[in-house]
């Protein structure tokens, strides 16, 4: 990453537009994927796509991600279980806490909208607020609390025109149903959880007082991403759903081991997430 890393302000200047990113992608691939996936910290899924073409984020967007556990690649290829399905998998994302402008954080989502991709499944590594959650659980988001976006951005009048956004839709219902079927067929597949996600700006993990606040607010999980993508997709024809991998569960006496612990827990739960995606996206019933 070293030599390609640029400072945030330089990044805003060198960032491509969605149109520029797409012209690079279309120079190599002429199909529009049926679905896209964004993988969060340490999440590893769909590593064996057929006829896969890989682009670095630097190459298509003009900016490399700076977070450990994010390889910063877009892989486009066919699903081995059903080669009629082409997927676009973003391995990594840009975050507000990296110092990036909103336009950079939403660049991959805006590129998908411009491309005409119909469905997006976002994933993230998240801390469990709900005490019944276990490390390694997968939580389908039924709603979110936006503690990231600056809602006034664009000015009062523009902001007033915007309506609250939701992330519970036909796609999230299909994900949940696929999880129910899988857990009946496959003993290793833990039933999916569902719940409300709180998106914090970060970059540090939350204080115990903040965790207590979120619990009282009815939140089930917390992390530092996904809200920008959901808000962006909700203003377009792109249907977006999101899944959190619970990498740690906040309890009274918990000591969080930091980003390394999060990466380890993500890896283990990735195997179940991988099964879920193959089952859901191959159209198996
Ligand atoms: N808080 C915020 N982000 C996270 C956490 C957490 O506990 N775990 C993984 N990402």
Among 113-127, 153-167, 265-279, the range of highest mean pLDDT? 113-127
Question: What's the pLDDT at 118?
Answer: 97
Residue 200 reports pLDDT greater than 60? yes
Q: Is the CB of 244 under 6 A from ligand 1?
A: no
Write out pLDDT tens, residues 252-278.
766 666 677 777 777 779 999 999 999
Distance 236 CA to ligand 1 centre (A): 28
Question: What's the pLDDT at 273?
Answer: 96
Residue 38 reports pLDDT greater than 70? yes
- Give the DSSP letter string of 15-77: PPPHHHHHHHHHTT--SPPSEEEEE-TT----TT-EEEEEEEHHHHHS----STT---EEEEE
Question: What's the pLDDT at 159?
Answer: 63
Residue 76 reports pLDDT greater than 70? yes
- Residues annotated as part of the active site: 41, 70, 95, 97-98, 125, 224-225, 248, 259
Domain that residue 244 falls in:
3-281
Residue 4 reports pLDDT greater than 60? no
Write out pLDDT tens, residues 41-67.
788 899 999 999 999 999 999 988 777
Cα–Cα dist 212/220, whole Å: 11
What CATH code is carried by the domain that includes residue 228? 3.40.50.1580
Percent of the chain topping pLDDT 90:
67
Residue 101 reports pLDDT greater than 90? no
Question: What's the pLDDT at 41?
Answer: 77
Tell me the best of 68, 215, 223, 267 to mutate to test the pocket of ligand 1, counting ligand atoms within 8 Å of each CB and taking the most.
223
Nearest CA to 107 among 38, 165, 41?
Answer: 38
Query: What's the number of domains the chain is made of?
Result: 1
């Amino acid at each position: 990453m070293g030599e390609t890393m640029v400072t945030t302000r330089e990044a805003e200047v060198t960032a491509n537009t969605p149109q520029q990113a797409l012209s690079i992608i279309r120079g190599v691939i002429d199909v529009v994927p049926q679905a896209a996936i964004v993988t969060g910290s340490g999440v590893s899924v769909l590593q064996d796509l057929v006829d896969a073409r890989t682009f670095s984020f630097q190459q298509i967007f003009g900016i490399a991600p700076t977070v450990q556990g994010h390889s910063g690649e877009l892989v486009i290829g066919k699903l081995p279980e059903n080669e009629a399905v082409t997927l676009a998998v973003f391995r990594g994302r840009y975050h507000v806490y990296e110092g990036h402008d909103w336009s950079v954080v939403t660049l991959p989502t805006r590129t998908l909208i411009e491309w005409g991709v119909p469905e997006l499944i976002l994933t993230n590594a998240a801390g469990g607020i709900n005490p019944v959650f276990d490390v390694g659980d997968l939580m389908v988001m039924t709603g979110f609390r936006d503690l990231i976006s600056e809602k006034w951005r664009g000015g009062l009048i523009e902001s007033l025109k915007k309506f609250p956004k939701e992330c519970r839709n036909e796609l999230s219902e299909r994900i949940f149903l696929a999880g129910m079927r899988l857990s009946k067929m496959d003993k290793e597949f833990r039933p999916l959880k569902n719940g409300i996600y709180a998106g914090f700006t970060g970059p540090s993990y939350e204080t115990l007082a903040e965790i207590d606040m979120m619990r009282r607010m009815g939140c089930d999980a917390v992390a530092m991403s996904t809200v920008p993508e959901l808000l962006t997709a909700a203003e377009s024809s792109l249907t977006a759903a999101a899944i959190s991998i619970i990498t740690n569960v906040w309890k009274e006496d918990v000591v969080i081991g930091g980003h390394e612990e999060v990466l380890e827990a993500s890896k283990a739960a990735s195997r179940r997430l991988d099964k879920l995606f193959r089952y859901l996206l191959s159209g198996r019933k």
